[in-house]
């Protein structure tokens, strides 16, 4: 995970000790370790990966990273269009 956080800049990584974070374990219904919880701003519930293989983890993170890169670019274009519309409508 530490190495992945250096590579994937659009994704924020954190980890916790499940012995000290019982509230998180209960809230996410964690039954196996390691468990990866992916929180997405556009979804209500996190995506849970229990005991993922290194390949599964890497492929999931790569897919999510690409998704957020594209989403960011789309939102940036949308914002610039809105700004351009405001500027042209206010001579």
- In this predicted model, what pLDDT tens digit does every residue of 24-73 receive, in sequence order? 888 888 887 888 888 887 888 888 888 888 888 888 888 888 888 898 89
Residue 78 lies in domain: 2-89
Max mean pLDDT range (13-17, 30-34, 72-76): 72-76
Whole-prediction pTM: 0.59
What's the total number of domains in the chain?
1
Give 73's contacts (C-beta < 8 A, 6+ positions apart).
Answer: none
| Local structure of 27: helix, strand or coil | helix
More confidently predicted of 91 and 87: 87
Give the pLDDT confidence score for residue 77 in this predicted structure. Answer: 94
Question: Quick one: which of 26, 42, 60 has its CA closest to 16?
Answer: 26
More confidently predicted of 12 and 57: 57
Cα 21 to Cα 35: distance, rounded to the nearest angstrom: 13
| Local structure of 49: helix, strand or coil | strand
Q: Is the pLDDT of residue 22 over 90?
A: no
Give the pLDDT confidence score for residue 5 in this predicted structure. Answer: 65
């Amino acid at each position: 995970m530490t190495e992945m956080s250096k590579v994937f800049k659009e994704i924020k990584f954190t980890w916790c000790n499940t012995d000290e974070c019982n509230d998180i374990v209960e809230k996410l219904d964690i039954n196996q370790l390691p468990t990866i919880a992916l929180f997405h701003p556009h979804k209500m519930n996190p995506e849970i990966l229990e005991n993922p293989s290194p390949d599964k983890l890497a492929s999931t993170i790569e897919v999510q990273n690409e998704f957020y890169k594209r989403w960011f670019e789309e939102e940036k274009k949308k914002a610039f269009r809105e700004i351009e519309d405001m500027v042209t409508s206010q001579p």
